[in-house]
Amino acid sequence: MNRRFRLAAAALGISVLVRLLWALFWPSNLILVDLHVYVEGAANLFRGNLYDWTDSSRSPQFPLPFTYPPFAALVLYPLHFLPFDVVAVGWLLATAGALFGIVWISLEMIVGGEAMHEQSWRTIAVAWTAGGMWLEPVRSTLDYGQVNVFLVLLAMVAARSTRWWVSGALVGLGAGVKLTPAVTGLYFAARRQWFAVIWSAVAFAGTIGLTFLLTPGETRTYFGELVGDPRRIGPVGSVINQSLRGALSRLAGHDIGSGLLWKSSVLVTAVLAFFAWRALDSDDRLGTLIIVQLFGLMASPISWSHHWVCLVPLILWLFHGPLRAAAGARLMAAYWLFTTVIGVPWMLGTLQKSMWDISRPGYLAWLGAANAIGVLALYVWMIRAGRLNSRRAVDRSREREPYRVS
């Protein structure tokens, strides 16, 4: 074990310890607030009031409801039998472990499984995990006790797997816990893995069928009344909502809803995402997965800043991926590192008078579109850099061809 690995391991251990102490002893109502909702809300699954229950003790401005499908409550239900401190410690340690899994699989998809047996890449994986815990999406996820790191890990494992039924099951189960992982099906569609796409839909339908058998009323309520209502999740215009709808609403000064402006912006984003995917090498699985995950975050009505955990694989891809030497790669990496280390949405959140106020000064509205602007710029850069990279590869292959006299 070399010195660099020991330093990386020490940094990771210190990061985990600090996060545990922060969560257990920092005097703030918002620490692990979402984990409280998961545990206490899921306890109501079989009482008939899962979606009527709210917790206002920690967030008086917005009483927090249970917003996930009933299958999520079923998965989380056993936690309410344990002391909350035990759940909290286990949750935070598992989140750190899941983050390491995300980093490891990201690097593995870039350099290959054999390379990950080398000490140097293991050291890089541990070091990035230690640093990744302090990037804003992960930092906020740990603060709130959110589920996002686990869901991204599910998507990563699904993309890594060579078995279509494993990939499909993981995506379907992830969508059963929270609808947004369903966008991963586009990754399998892009790679023409149709059995995985179909099986993910079957697995998701299975989660609905299971909860319908166990709690038909709650299942009807969620999928019949609540599934299309973003207002129940929270204020669309708050700066921590970094989706297209959130960014455009703040620029417009009011909630733009799901009308023509929003649909047009999603269409433009989809077109850019498509051409960005086409510009990548066909074997760049991580690049494709990142494009899909970012599109899902952009198109969703609400994408809180802690939902953007896929920015960790993106930063790794920019630093170590196939386009790392392309013009602008370092600038892109620096942009995303800056926004996630500083935590631009979180920082701007301290400046908004109320999470319910959408209108704000123009410069704050534009700064509040940091993630949306960054994704659009990333897609454009991918299109250009990917095409130039492919063109150079073709030119190099022609140079290697032997000269033939006709």
Domain extents in the chain: 1-160, 236-389
pTM, entire model: 0.93
Given a cut of 60, whether residue 398 has pLDDT beyond it is: no
User: What average pLDDT does range 68-83 have in this prediction?
Assistant: 96
Give the whole-angstrom CA distance, residue 135 versus residue 305: 11
> Of how many residues is the chain composed?
406
User: What average pLDDT does range 264-289 have in this prediction?
Assistant: 96
Burial-class residue 241 by CB neighbours within 10 Å (0-12, 13-18, 19+): buried
pLDDT, tens only, 335-352: 999 999 999 998 898 888
Given a cut of 50, whether residue 405 has pLDDT beyond it is: no
Phi and psi for 389 in degrees, rounded to 5? -65, -40
pLDDT of the residue at 394: 52
Given a cut of 50, whether residue 293 has pLDDT beyond it is: yes
Given a cut of 60, whether residue 250 has pLDDT beyond it is: yes
Given a cut of 70, whether residue 207 has pLDDT beyond it is: yes
Given a cut of 80, whether residue 28 has pLDDT beyond it is: no
Give the whole-angstrom CA distance, residue 229 versus residue 246: 15
User: What average pLDDT does range 363-378 have in this prediction?
Assistant: 95
User: What average pLDDT does range 101-118 have in this prediction?
Assistant: 94
User: Between the CA atoms of 211, 214, 220 and 222, what dihedral angle is there, to the nearest 10 degrees?
Assistant: -50
pLDDT of the residue at 199: 97
DSSP 137-152: HHHHHHHHT-SHHHHH
Q: What distance separates the 2 farthest-apart alpha carbons in the chain?
A: 84
Give the whole-angstrom CA distance, residue 261 versus residue 264: 5
Give the whole-angstrom CA distance, residue 135 versus residue 137: 6
Q: How much of the chain exceeds pLDDT 70, in percent? A: 95
| Amino acid symbol at 63 | P
Give the whole-angstrom CA distance, residue 373 versus residue 61: 29
pLDDT of the residue at 1: 65
User: What average pLDDT does range 151-165 have in this prediction?
Assistant: 95
pLDDT of the residue at 219: 94
Given a cut of 50, whether residue 403 has pLDDT beyond it is: no
Give the whole-angstrom CA distance, residue 393 versus residue 325: 13
pLDDT of the residue at 225: 83
252's CB contacts (< 8 A; 6+ apart) are 261
State the pLDDT confidence band at 227, using cuts at 50, 70 and 90.
Answer: confident
Given a cut of 50, whether residue 378 has pLDDT beyond it is: yes
Give the whole-angstrom CA distance, residue 185 versus residue 290: 13
Given a cut of 90, whether residue 184 has pLDDT beyond it is: yes
Given a cut of 70, whether residue 397 has pLDDT beyond it is: no
pLDDT, averaged across the chain: 91
pLDDT of the residue at 396: 56
Q: How much of the chain exceeds pLDDT 90, in percent? A: 76
State the pLDDT confidence band at 226, using cuts at 50, 70 and 90.
Answer: confident
State the pLDDT confidence band at 404, using cuts at 50, 70 and 90.
Answer: very low
pLDDT of the residue at 274: 97
pLDDT of the residue at 391: 67
The two tokens of residue 19 are 């996060």
User: What average pLDDT does range 214-236 have in this prediction?
Assistant: 85
240's CB contacts (< 8 A; 6+ apart) are 304, 305, 306, 345, 346, 349, 355
User: What average pLDDT does range 382-401 have in this prediction?
Assistant: 69
User: What average pLDDT does range 65-79 have in this prediction?
Assistant: 95
